[in-house]
A and B are shown apart, each in its own frame.
Chain A
């Protein structure tokens, strides 16, 4: 699973990053987390609100930081075939 955190390094992006890592470790899932901080790249995903969470090139969260529990659900729902 490839995860990208979209955001220019503001508070919310850091929180999202931390919570995603937490959710992953609680679920015992393996994933690479990449930070995308360039506005050009962020805009290419078509989001108008940061932070954004991208799983395998699909935008799954934009504009808010979900709680860890919610992130776990999202991660499980978008987990590719194992």
Chain B
């Protein structure tokens, strides 16, 4: 790590080909590893093990690369800059821009409240702020990588697209509902005495370093979730019979979408834990719309985040927020069940 910090550019030149080489031998490597264990071919356990030893390194590799790139991209954005860009935008334009910025602005749900206050203080409309608060957790780089790695680019793009549509419309609707009275009064009385932190614009060398620190931060944090998620996925892959999920989460079960959302909202996991599970469910006959709805409600709406937001939002607005987003997710679920 010390060398990487000292020579950020040089280390990229060395590490990138290494990454490509590793990725290229994944399939053969996993097959060879399964052969080495001496497990009988075609058995359930063998298939579960094969799934695990192939998916874990693949997803970790993809995650590392994308988190690195996103770390560099994010060094160009900050909540302060995003706030400045959103100031004075009209309602709809503001919603679109806020949802897009939600993808690239660094965000952690523990900062949701200071960010909310910062936006309100700058006079950004509530609806626009909500667009940001919906898109930022839901469309995150981990979700996009996993979807790309496990399902291909079409599904990843689809997820980003529908996430944007939900964030834009939900924010727009909340803006139209005139919910200012449901924000805790003290929020409007805050006038910060300092302009926050004045950050010097980093040079490119430092941006590469922020890519590396994003990798050690994020990959270091999510890998246990990933192992558990892929482990559960491997279990489902090997042991749950084909089409088992078709009756429960298939297209024919009209109630499956709202039920998936109802189960998903209180559940909390990051994308790394839930997506491998969703992949396995899909492989066993769950329909795409239902699986997508489940995943979005788990990642996008989380109990801890709503509890944190309760500090600045009165209860009715919490319900409106969760309700509008959940409703949007249900519509997306039905839409995809209809189209696919």
Contacts and interface: CB of A to CB of B under 8 A. Distances in A.
Contacts of B227: none
Given A8-B308, A39-B117, A45-B193, 5 more contacts: A12-B108, A39-B114, A45-B196, A48-B115, A49-B114
Contacts of B154: none
A46 B308 CA distance: 19
A17 B193 CA distance: 24
A71 interface: no
Given A39-B312, A40-B186, A48 B194 contact: no
**Contact size class for B?**
20 to 34
A25 to B, nearest CB: 23
B197 A59 contact: yes
A61 B121 CA distance: 21
Contact of A62 (B113, B186, B197, B308): B197
Interface string B160-198: 000000000000000000000000001000111111110
B104 to A, nearest CB: 15
Contact of A45 (B79, B113, B192): B192
Given A39-B312, A40-B186, A46 B196 contact: yes
A53 B111 CA distance: 14
26 contacts: A8-B113, A11-B110, A12-B108, A12-B110, A43-B114, A43-B118, A44-B191, A44-B192, A44-B193, A46-B194, A47-B114, A47-B196, A48-B79, A48-B80, A48-B111, A48-B117, A48-B196, A49-B79, A49-B106, A50-B114, A58-B194, A59-B197, A62-B196, A63-B78, A63-B106, A63-B111
Q: From B118, B191, B195, B197, name the one whose CB has the most chain A CB atoms within 10 angstroms.
A: B197
B74 to A, nearest CB: 11
Contact of A42 (B114, B191, B193, B194): B114
Interface string B302-316: 000000100110000
B49 to A, nearest CB: 33
A59 B118 CA distance: 15
Contacts of A59: 194, 196-197
A31 interface: no
Closest 8 CB pairs of A and B: A46-B192, A46-B196, A48-B118, A48-B79, A10-B110, A43-B117, A46-B194, A48-B115
Contact of B114 (A12, A48, A60, A61): A48
A47 B118 CA distance: 7
A55 B79 CA distance: 22
Given A39-B311, A40-B186, A63-B106, A46 B193 contact: yes
Contacts of B115: 48-49
Contact of B197 (A7, A47, A50): A47
Interface string A18-47: 000000000000000000000110111111
A42 B190 CA distance: 10
A40 B188 CA distance: 11
A10 B78 CA distance: 20
B44 interface: no
Interface in B118-156: 118, 121
Contacts of A49: 78-79, 106, 108, 111, 114-115
Nearest to A66: B213
